[in-house]
Amino acid sequence: MSTLPSPTPSVPALRWSTYAAPSRFYGLAGRLLPWMWTAALVFAAAGLWVGFAIAPTDFQQGEVYRIIFIHVPAAWMSMLIYLVMAFWAAWGWMLNARLASMYARALAPTGALFTFLALWTGALWGKPTWGTWWVWDARLTSEFILLLLYLGYIALTEAIDDPRRAANAGALLALVGAVNIPIIYFSVRWWNTLHQGASISLTAAPKMAATMLLSMLLLTISFWAYSFAVVFTRARAIVLEQEADTEWVRALAAGAGPRGS
C-alpha cells in the first residue's frame, strides 16, 4: 500500500504587519534619511542653477517668470501630499493601522509648508503681472482653502489627547477635504480665471523651452526628496512619542537600537 508523500513545508507568507511595525519603520527611515537629504540638496542646486543662470528670459514676462520654477513644483507638492495624507489617514482609520495614522500626521506640516510657499510665490508673481498681490480667483481661493484644511487637520489631531481618536477625527476631515484637490486642478478649465493654464500636460507638448522644463523637473525632484526627508524625520519622532512605553523604545534609549532595524 503506497503512502501519500508528505506535503512540502510551505514558506511562511510575508505579512504586511511585519513591515508596518513602528520599530522596523524607525530603523529603515533612519537609514534612508542621509540619501534623501543629499538628493534634496543636489537637485535643488542643479534646478536653481539651470533656472536662474541658464534658462532664457521670457519674451513676455521678462525675468519675473523665473519664480515659476519654485511656484509650480510647490503647488504640485501641496496637492499631492494632501492626497497621500488622506490615503494614509483613511488606511489607518479603516484598518486600525497605527503607523499609517502616524505617517498621515507627519505629512500635514510639510503639505502646509508647500501650500504656503505656492501662495506666497504666486503673490510675488501676481504683483508685477496682474498689478495686485491677491485676487479671489478660483485657483487662488481653492489653494487657500487647501492651506486651511492642512491647518485644520493639524489643529484637530493635536487638540485630542487620545492618539486613536485624534487619528480617526483627522481622517474624516482629510477625506472630506480631498474633494478640494480636483477643484484646484481643474479650476482654470471650469471657470474663467486670471490664473494661466497649465504649461505642462500629459497629452500635449510642453509650452516652454527645454531648459525651463528641466529646471522645473529638477526642483520637483528636490521637493520630493525634501518631503521624504522631513516627513521621515517627523514620523520617527511621532513613533517615539506614541511608542514610548514599548520595549524597543526603552532599548533604543539604552543604546541597544530598535529591534529589526
Encode pLDDT of 110-123 as tens digits.
999 999 999 999 88
Residue with cell 489643529: 155
In which band, very low, low, confident or very high, does the pLDDT at 259 lie, cut at 50, 70 and 90?
A: very low
pLDDT of residue 241: 85
**Residue 56 included in any domain:** yes
| Radius of gyration of the chain from its Cα atoms, rounded to whole angstroms | 23
Question: Which residues make beta-bridge pairs with 204?
Answer: 201
Residue with the bigger pLDDT between 69 and 65: it is 69
What is the DSSP code (8-state) at residue 56? Answer: P
Residues 231, 105: Cα–Cα separation, whole Å: 9
In a domain, 143, yes or no: yes
Nearest-CA neighbor of 238 among 102, 108, 107, 104? 102
* Residue 187 pLDDT greater than 80, yes or no: no
Per-residue confidence at 13, pLDDT binned at 50, 70, 90? very low
Instruction: Tell whether 205 is covered by a domain.
Output: yes
* Structure confidence at residue 212 as a pLDDT band (50, 70, 90): confident
Q: Is residue 206 part of a domain?
A: yes
Contacts of 44 (CB under 8 A, 6+ apart): 218, 219, 222, 226
The more confidently predicted of residues 163 and 188 is: 163
For the chain, percent of residues with pLDDT exceeding 90: 50
Residue 261 covered by a domain = no
State residue 195's pLDDT score.
55
Helix or strand run (H / E) with residue 224: helix 210-242
Count of domains for the chain: 1
Report yes or no: 82 and 149 within 8 Å, Cβ to Cβ.
yes
In three-state secondary structure terms, 177 is helix
- Does residue 17 lie in a domain region? no
pLDDT category, 250, cuts 50, 70, 90? confident
Q: 179 lies in a domain?
A: yes
The model's pTM is: 0.83
φ/ψ of residue 177, rounded to 5: -70, -15
Q: Are 71 and 118 in contact (CB under 8 A)?
A: yes
Mean pLDDT of all residues belonging to the chain:
83
pLDDT per position as a tens digit, 140-166: 889 999 999 999 999 999 999 898 999
DSSP string, 23-49: HHHHHHHHHHHHHHHHHHHHHHHHHHH
Give 87-110 pLDDT, tens digit per residue: 999 999 999 888 899 999 999 999
Beta bridge partners of 62: 58
Domain contains 107: yes
Contacts of 116 (CB under 8 A, 6+ apart): 147
Question: What pLDDT is stored for residue 207 in this prediction?
Answer: 60
How many helices (H) and strands (E) are present in the chain, helices listed first? 9, 0
User: Quick one: pLDDT at residue 194?
Assistant: 54
The DSSP result for 129-174, as a single string, is HHSSS----HHHHHHHHHHHHHHHHHHHHHH-SSHHHHHHHHHHHH
Give me 108's grid cell: 500635514
Encode pLDDT of 21-40 as tens digits.
Answer: 778 888 888 899 999 999 99
Q: Confirm if 74 and 118 have CB atoms less than 8 A apart.
A: yes
Range 43-68 average pLDDT: 86
| pLDDT of amino acid 190 | 64
The answer to whether 23 touches 248, Cβ cutoff 8 Å, is yes
Q: Between 6 and 78, where is the model more confident?
A: 78
Q: Residue 9 pLDDT > 70, yes or no? A: no
Host domain of residue 62:
27-241
